[in-house]
Structures are given as structure tokens and as C-alpha cells.
Structure 1
Amino acid sequence: MSSDPIRIAVRRLPHGRDLPLPAYATPGAAGMDVVAAEDVTLAPGARHAVATGFAMAIPSGYEVQVRPRSGLALKYGITCLNTPGTIDSDYRGELKVILANLGDAPFAVVRGERIAQLVPAPVQTATLTEVDALDDTERGAGGFGSTGR
């Protein structure tokens, strides 16, 4: 890791007592694996906010991003919506992962199965200043695809 880890307080909820807390699978992993605290079957095209069985207190100045697991995405078409999802430092409710089935077969989410990754990240806040005009750039107001083919 490139810097000292931040400390995040975690509270287990009753339905998550016997589940592992989020953890790094290897020393070089960027994200902590998080597991499901419920069983649910996702039909093709369906989505569900899957319970994890814990809540956390993220320090001010940080967020925790929720990201999909690449193996679930490649093998089954299972991904996280609103990716990366953001857990704000002032949220104290249960962490839930919005899973979606983009595949062509039903997918069973099994309690205790790894469903996503959590990546803590610093947050840079901004102050907006309203102006009458913006500076000119080569791209200008060119939108989606305006710099490619």
C-alpha cells in the first residue's frame, strides 16, 4: 500500500454476525471483498440492493467506493449499478450493494458469497463560482465522442 491505512469503524448487524468483515484477499488488492448477508435470485435484467450485514463510520474527508467483482461480471454478467457507488462519511445505515444481472440466465446470490469490492478514497470538495462565460478550449462544447471517431 502506498500510504498508511485509514481507520474505519464497522458495526455488525444481527443478520451479519457470522459473516466475515470486508477484507483484502491479497496484499496487493486495491479493494476489500464484501459478502452478501442474504440469499436472492436475480432474474435476467433484474436488480436488487443486497444486504451486507454491517454499517460503517467513514472518517470525514473520505468515501468508500463500491465496485463490481470482475469474475462475476465476466462469467455471469453480474455488476454493480451506479458504479462506482459512493458511501458518504456521514452515512451510518447498512451498506447495501446494488447488483444487476446483465446476463441471460437467473443468478443466485448466496449468503456469504463475495459480491463486490470496497475501495476507500479521499474526497476533494469544491467551491463553485458562477460566471458569465467560461474560458475557450480546443474541444469547446464537444460532447460524447467528440474527441474520437
Structure 2
Amino acid sequence: MSLSYLVQINRLPGNEDIELPRKMSELASGFDLYAAVEEDFVLKPGERGLVPTGFALAMPAGLEAQIRPRSGLALKAGLTCLNTPGTIDADYRGEIKVLLINLGQEPFTIKRNERIAQMVFQAVPAVELQQVDVLSETVRGSGGFGHTGRN
């Protein structure tokens, strides 16, 4: 049994020509996002920029949206998202924007209505933190980054 959520989407004025987020295949988990730039936007190698999408969301409590890179853009052009995955909280009502960085070797031009990222919705469990004086023991203990070696 799969969970189903109703998420409201509002196309912002001046963006009537921008595609709304959509899945590109039946079993895709991500909704592709489209650039709502007013004119071509060039990201030089090493540069980052905030790209508008032309829409806002209203999600129910217990849901978040995550902004993730498009694998094709990352592979072909070195274009990816910073702060990945970017989290959109259920109480945010502003325009969804995508923080992109060009890690490639060439300038990358973002055109209006071009697919730039994807958005995946995730359930967020209700969590209550409980302060304690001592944590339970595990085999791993406090072993952190790389503690198990290369293999």
C-alpha cells in the first residue's frame, strides 16, 4: 500500500509559459523542475547561482520536498545542486528556487523553461529528542568517518 499526499502548487504570475513540475516516467520518484529565468543565465566554471522555478507549494505537515541534481546535467556538464538535497519545509510558501553550481570546465547557459533539477517528496516522521546522561553501547561505538578502513 502506498501513501498518498495532496500537495497544492501555485504558478506565480509571469510564469504561465513555464512547465509545472512533472515526472518524466511512470515510476520516476522525482518531478523535474524548470528554469523560470527571464533571460539566459550563464554559470561560468566554479560559479553558483539561484535559479527560480516560477511556482510555490503548500504541503501537508509530515511532508518535505527535496531538491536534487539531474544526473544527466551532472554527468554531461558538471552542473549540480549545492546543499543537496535542499530541503523545503511544509510551512514554506515562497517561490521554489534551485541553488546550482557549475563544476564543469565550460560555461553553462540556463535557458527559460529548461529542466534544471528534480524534486522528490519524503515523509518526515514525528521525532522527539530525549536528553540522557549515557547512550546505549553498540559494536561500532563512536567510530566515525572511515573507521572501517578502505575495504
TM-score in terms of structure 2 length? 0.93
Match of 1:89 in 2: 90
Tell me, what secondary structure is at the counterpart of 1:72? helix
Check whether the contact 1:139–1:147 (CA below 8 A) recurs between aligned residues: no
1:15 aligned counterpart, secondary structure: coil
CA contact (8 A) 1:15 1:37 kept: no
Tell me the secondary structure at the aligned position of residue 37 of structure 1. Answer: coil
Q: Which runs of 4+ in 1 moved over 3 A?
A: none
Q: How many residues align?
A: 148
Q: For residue 104 of structure 2, what is the aligned residue in structure 1?
A: 103
Question: TM-score by structure 1 length?
Answer: 0.94
Q: For residues 88 and 16 of structure 2, what CA distance do their matches in structure 1 show?
A: 21
Cα distance in 2 for residues equivalent to 1:6 and 1:132: 39
Partners of 1:66 and 1:56 in 2: CA distance: 13
Matches within 5 A, 1:1-149: 3-38=2-37, 39-149=40-150
Report the Cα offset of residue 4 of structure 1: 4.9
How many Å separate the matches in 2 of 1:134 and 1:143? 16
Unpaired runs of 5+ in structure 1? none
Q: Distance in 1 between matches of 2:93 and 2:45?
A: 31
Partner-residue secondary structure (3-state), 2:14: helix
Unaligned segments of structure 2, at least 5 residues? none
Q: Are the equivalent residues in 2 in contact too, given 1:63–1:123 (CA < 8 A)?
A: yes
2-side partners of 1:125 and 1:36: how far apart? 33
